[in-house]
Amino acid sequence: MTGEFIRRAGGEYYRSPEAIAPQVFLEDNRSPEAIAGRAKWEENRRLKRQILTVACSDSRVVLIEPTREIAIRAVSAGIDPEEFLPAIENPNVEAINLMGHHSGKDLRRGEAPSGCGGMGVRKELATGKTPKADIERWVIEHVEDADPLLHLLSLGKKVLATTEKKMLFSSQDQLDKTVYPIFAYLNQLIAPASVDLNDFRAEIAYAQGVPHLIRDQLMGSAFDEYLLRYYQERFPKFHNWGEVDTYSQEFQNPRIYLVTTNIRPAQVCYPHLSEKPGDMFVTTVPRRKNVARDRIEITDEAIENVLCQAQYPISHFSKLLTILIETGDIEQSLRIAAKLKQKSWAIPWFQRSNTQIMIGEIRRGILEDIQILPKAA
């Protein structure tokens, strides 16, 4: 990893402005930290204490306990639960966390939190803008409301139609990584005192900022330990690095876009490349395992949904130079990459001399093959 990171006085790390070589991904995936992370993840799986986390693809969003989590990432956490039923119904999953995000700096009392780009698109569409771009059409179909609280509630109802597992509805301040537990489903829906679910009014619900539960309301649930461990162990680390402060997290401009079928978090599989919040934008591709044929299957609809989301990072981020598309079958990765290259909005990005699309094959969190897609292919 020495060629990837340049250290300077003060302890901050400055990333190379160049595209990242495949070898760097391989080295990171096989590093001692990755090996230990996968082992811890497998142990939590064996103990059936995993948390399924559905979160936004935003590169600033951090997971609460990566070695315990199955991660599903989508713009504004706008998933279709039916596409991810194998993960939702996974017997090793103890509970589910639906996590949105917002900017604490932009909070206005009596108004819904803002800061998520996908929510911003949804808000524009709600005011009468006609959806034309791929990402706009995707958002109108998958993001229920420009209010993140109402969107999470709507998504939660869909998830609860498929499972009776305990569920947390949370929002993370993308600036300082504070996680607010807004609602919880513990046999019944538990809400903060300021939120009337039968008569929801933003001016009341957000009168004191982001509404949230108190610890007593989560006591005895998996979420109490989950959040407590985060604040004791992981949260302080984000405030020990001079580079990870509220200013550096105000805007995202990631250099890596990871498109993956892997349910192990990027922080487990690529602990160095994904270490700094703001560096890696992630989208999860829904897939099914064909046990009889020992291969994964990805529908054309699933690929199109992912590619619609891909328009957002490819069109927005000037520092994005590397896209890695990885699945359990490198031919499936190539299939997705080929469709991406045909998108009119992706062609100018790919034609730049310093950008690259890589395809990989990853199984059980281990990157077994990675190749750079030729520009002329």
- The tens-digit pLDDT sequence of the chain (377 residues) is 333 333 222 333 334 567 899 999 999 999 999 999 999 999 999 999 999 999 999 999 999 999 999 999 999 999 999 999 999 999 999 999 999 999 988 888 889 999 899 999 999 998 888 889 999 999 999 999 999 999 999 999 999 999 999 999 999 999 999 999 999 999 899 988 778 878 888 899 898 889 999 999 999 999 999 999 999 999 998 877 555 566 678 889 999 999 999 999 999 999 999 988 999 999 999 998 877 877 789 999 999 999 999 999 999 999 999 999 999 999 999 999 999 999 999 999 999 999 999 999 999 999 999 999 998 75
Pairing of strands 166-173, 179-185: antiparallel
Which domain range does residue 180 map to?
5-372
C-alpha distances in angstroms, 236 versus 12, 64, 178, 229?
16, 12, 10, 11
Domain tally for the chain? 1
The percent of the chain in helix, strand and coil, each rounded to the nearest 5, is 35, 20, 40
pLDDT of residue 193: 78
What is the predicted pLDDT for the residue at 48? Answer: 98
Radius of gyration of the chain (CA): 20
Question: Rounded distance, CA 70 to CA 124, Å?
Answer: 32
* Residue type (1 letter), 125: L
pLDDT at 377: 55
Q: How much is the pLDDT for 19?
A: 80
Q: Is residue 94 part of a domain?
A: yes
235 lies in a domain?
yes
The answer to whether residue 265 is domain-embedded is yes
Q: How many Å apart are CA 357 and CA 268, to the nearest integer? A: 22
DSSP secondary structure letters along 307-336: HHHHHHHHHH-TT--EEEEEESSHHHHHHH
The pLDDT, as a whole number, for residue 245 is 62
Determine the pLDDT at residue 246: 63
Pair 257, 55: CB distance under 8 Å: no
Alpha carbons 231 and 99: distance in angstroms, whole number? 16
| Predicted pLDDT at 242 | 53
377 lies in some domain: no
